[in-house]
Structure 1
Amino acid sequence: MAKFLYALLLFIPLIATAQKNGYDFKEAEAETRKLVYTSPDSALAIIKTTLSQKGKLHDTILGNTYNLYGLYFGMTGNADSSVYYFKKSLSYIDDYPKNRLRSLMNLSIGYRNKGDYKTSIKYLNEALKVSRKDNNKVGIAMAYGELASNYNYMVEYDKSVDYLLKAIKILKAENNTQQLAAIKQKLANTYLGMENFKFAIDLYKETLAEFKEIGMEKNYYLTLINLGEAHIRLEQYDKAKQSLQEAVQGLERFGDKELIGITYSKIGNIEKIEGQTDKAIASYQKAFDYLTETKSTRILRIGGEYIDLLNENGMYGKALGIIAEAEPYRKTIYSNIHDRMVYVKAIADTYSHTGKPDKAIAEYRNTIAIKDSISASEAQAAVQEIQAKFQTELQREKNLALEANNKALEQKIDNEQMLMLIYILGSIALISIILFVLRSYWLKTKLQKEQLKNTEAENKLIKQQHEYEQQLVSAQKQTIEEKQRELTATTLQMANYQTHINTIIKKCSTNEVALTDVKRELQLLLKQRDYWKQFETRFNSLHPDFEKKLTDRFGRLTKNDVEFCSLLKLNLSNKEIASLLQISHESAITKKYRIKKKMEIADDEEFDRLLLNL
């Protein structure tokens, strides 16, 4: 009730908008159709809002809305109400084939849920006529699917498989994946009934993924219930529990008490097998309460299982209570022959242990009669069942082989695509490398050419510089030599003046010359320059660092020693130096010797080379 109120509050703005700006019936129908499978209470709120609109509504609006009303009751497990509204829907849409087809199909499902398979098949045959007349192939396929479900409940598996294979063929040709999932679920149900559990499990797993993808939640949870049953039959109880518990949690949102009850009965069956008696009784009690509340066709079968559980544990009084609740449905509710046998045998055992032999005998007789009926029908269908199982297993093998082949093809395609991608990437990489190498070679060649040009230019420049330097050195050498010659000449001239003076002095000593002549010659000499000072100036201009380098390197040398070395650097002989300095030739040799000693040089060649290089 709280959910309904909440959903109604959500759609109050929609009602206000409808009254103010006009109601969008098409959008409301689309939203309802989406919600009815996931949130039935929200769908009901829109249905009531649509029907409450003022003015005369078009027949298709009323027909479609009542059809959705019937779907709501079908989702919540109220088969009687669903049948009522589906019939009401049909009264508005006689002239609209597609709408009529939808309501006919839903009406047939409603009757099947009530256990009235004959009436259900009647409406499905009418749906087939409408579909064929309208050339609606998908409609034909869905009618085949619902016929198969009826025959499955009626334990006529050969007819069920036949209709399902026809439906699958049509839907594959039409590429209708959504409806194909529902048909595959029905085929799995048939294989479950034929005890081909492994193939049933394979199909259930496929359809679970498909229902989840397309958002058909109710079908998803219904499939989980059947998957749980298949696992139970294969004694895979943990897997069965997992599926069934997920189904119960999901179905609570839909409020489908019949399906919830069926699910609890299967959980109770597992708990019974595992020896959890108290839990099994609690689960079966929940299942029985839900089923009696909805007047389900499964009351007798699940009631019989519950009574058997109570009998096994000596709880005969409680078993009688369950029988009392179930008996009124024995005549009013249709159930198949196998379900009736389970119930009759269980109550016969209860009567036998509670001192009611007459009732026990009567029910045992009923049990024998039902078994005989089952045996007769089974004997007649035994060969067909064996063939069906063989065909089923063969089909399963073919499906597995086809699946493996498809995977191999997909893998091959993936590999080819990967190879193509690798080839393309490799080609791009190779072209890139080639372009890179060519560009590198081009750049290298260009760089080499530039370097060659630069080298040639540098070589030319160096050659020019070398020639210039040679010219400069030659000019400097000529200048130095000229200055050297000039300096030497000056020096020799100074030596000549000294000799001249000495000659005058000698004349004076021998009285060979008159005094006036001496005076005249001396006056002439006085008019001359200071030639030694002139020598020093010119020598320093020619060899500016000679004195400094010599004194820095040989600190013991005096100024006279430096002057003597200056004369030696001019490559003057000892005799010329002696004449210039007015000393004897031996004194010049002695002075040179002393200077070499101060410089700690013994070899004359080394001494001359040192002075020359300074």
Structure 2
Amino acid sequence: MDKTNKYRVLVAFLSVIILVLLYLFLSEKKYINLSLKSMPPILTENYSTYKDELDSLLQANVEEAKNRINIYYAEAHDKEDTLQLSYLYYYKAIVKRKWGIQSDSAEFFLKRSIIYSEKWNNLELASKARYRLGVHFMEKHNYPVSLNYFLEAKDYFKKTDSTNLMLANIYNMLGSTYTLLGELEKGLYYHKKAYPLFQRKRDSLGLAAHYSNISKVYQSNGDLPKAIDYLKSSVRIYKNNKDTINWTNCLVDLSNTALGLKKYEEAKYYINQAYNLASLAKDTISRGHIMIHYGNIYRAEGNQKKALEYYTQGLQLAKSAYIEQIDLYVLKNIADIYIESKQYERAYPYINRYYVLKDSISGAGVRDKINVLQYDNELQQKQTENEIERQKYRNVVLIYTIVVLFFCLILLSFWFMYRNKVKSLRISKLKNIRLEEKVKAEQEFLKLQSQQHEREIEAKAQLQKVQQLQYEFELQSKKELENLKIKQFEIEMEAKNRELVGINLQLLSKNKLMDEIEEIVNKKPSNIENSFFELKKTIRLNRNQEEDWIQFKKVFEKIHPNFFEILSEKYSALTKTEIRICTYIKIKMAIDQISDLLNVSHQSVLTSRYRIRKKFQLKREEDLDEFIRNI
């Protein structure tokens, strides 16, 4: 009965813990919901009047809209009304756009609008400003930055309303940006996503922009006939809406596409229409670019003179426009035409301008690549941060779920432990008995194994001792054999040296004998002078020192190989007599023996040693005999 009461107390305690965890979970959920709603409310009602007024003025009278915006801006700035400033900065940027001014001030206004909008949790306005910033950087050819802003705007409008017309425009611009970055598949994907939204909202101008932009994807893919079909659809819509600027641009694109298909007359037809529209609109810059396109057509036809005329006129008319790629292309074409006609002096200024402009574009390309890496990293970081925020609530739910499940499992485990406690005790007793028997058997087995292991160790130790003794014996035998070989070599060397010394002594005795005979002859009376002269001559001839030297040299080279080669290679300045003296020094002959052997005076040998020292370049403290023996 006591055990049952303990179990009930334990179950009650665990139930209380589970209830506390559920309460904490619900409190956390409520806190999260409150934190999402803790931002200041968006007070759009107070600003709806002037917003509608500004929207209508921007369509009808841009100058009047600009004046009203400045008035509202001054009031909001004095009141430090950041909510109103967020809208007014946005409209200031739109006015800059309407006036055709692509300045850094528009970028500044849009960024300030984003800061104030996010402060008031007005994410819709912040996303619209990001879309405008994307367009701004796209027109400045900074496509990586543009792509980043478009993607941020897309994330918001996709969450709030997937059928929004703003989302269609963002998809359209994303398609164009990816196409310009060379990612054609992504570009086509976003253009196709924009099309049903434009169609659902019946936005004809949006559809026209879609057709115009998607044609560029097919131009890049090389599908020019399909590109022409889309451009014709775009031209029809712009014509019906009397949108002269976009109508003109589409006609120019049509002309370029037809030129790519080598349909020269069709290309001229479209470019003529574009030129007439630009003339009616008094758009000098557009006329200049159209003139350049005329030049492209005539050059493709082979009429270089007329092409050159249109190129130069087009550059003059469009010189105020900053379109680097067009200027680069035209400068190159003009230079090529002059070079083909061998007018090199005229070609030089255009070539010079071409390379200067090309270098500046290459630098911009490198900056774009750096921006791609930088903004890819920033985009990935922002996506990671957003993912972390989205996972916060899920993580909290997961943690509490795991904790509840954990305590439930603990509860169930206690239940099963209580039920199986008696059984487990009985089983444990039986197991203990069996375990003891098993332990005894294992202990006996381990004893036998240890005894066998000890015997193996002893056998291995004995084997190692035998191997060690065998190794020491072999080592000692090798040493003794080497000593015997060394002694045998020394005996052989000593025998050879004795042979050399014997030869030298033989030579010495021979020379002494000859000297004594010569001395006896010299003492004879002068009446038999002729006879003794012949005798002296015969004695000198019988000396034959050269043959004796050759015989000596053969024996010497057997004992000291390469000695003469080393002397001749390293010390080529040595004379034959000096080489002989070096040889006699090598076999440790004394100076007196050398002088007798060479039949010269003691001083002559010393003089030769001095010369040898100089040729060896020895220092005063170095020993000549030791040096020669080490050679």
TM-score (norm 2): 0.45
The structure having more radius of gyration, on CA atoms, is 1
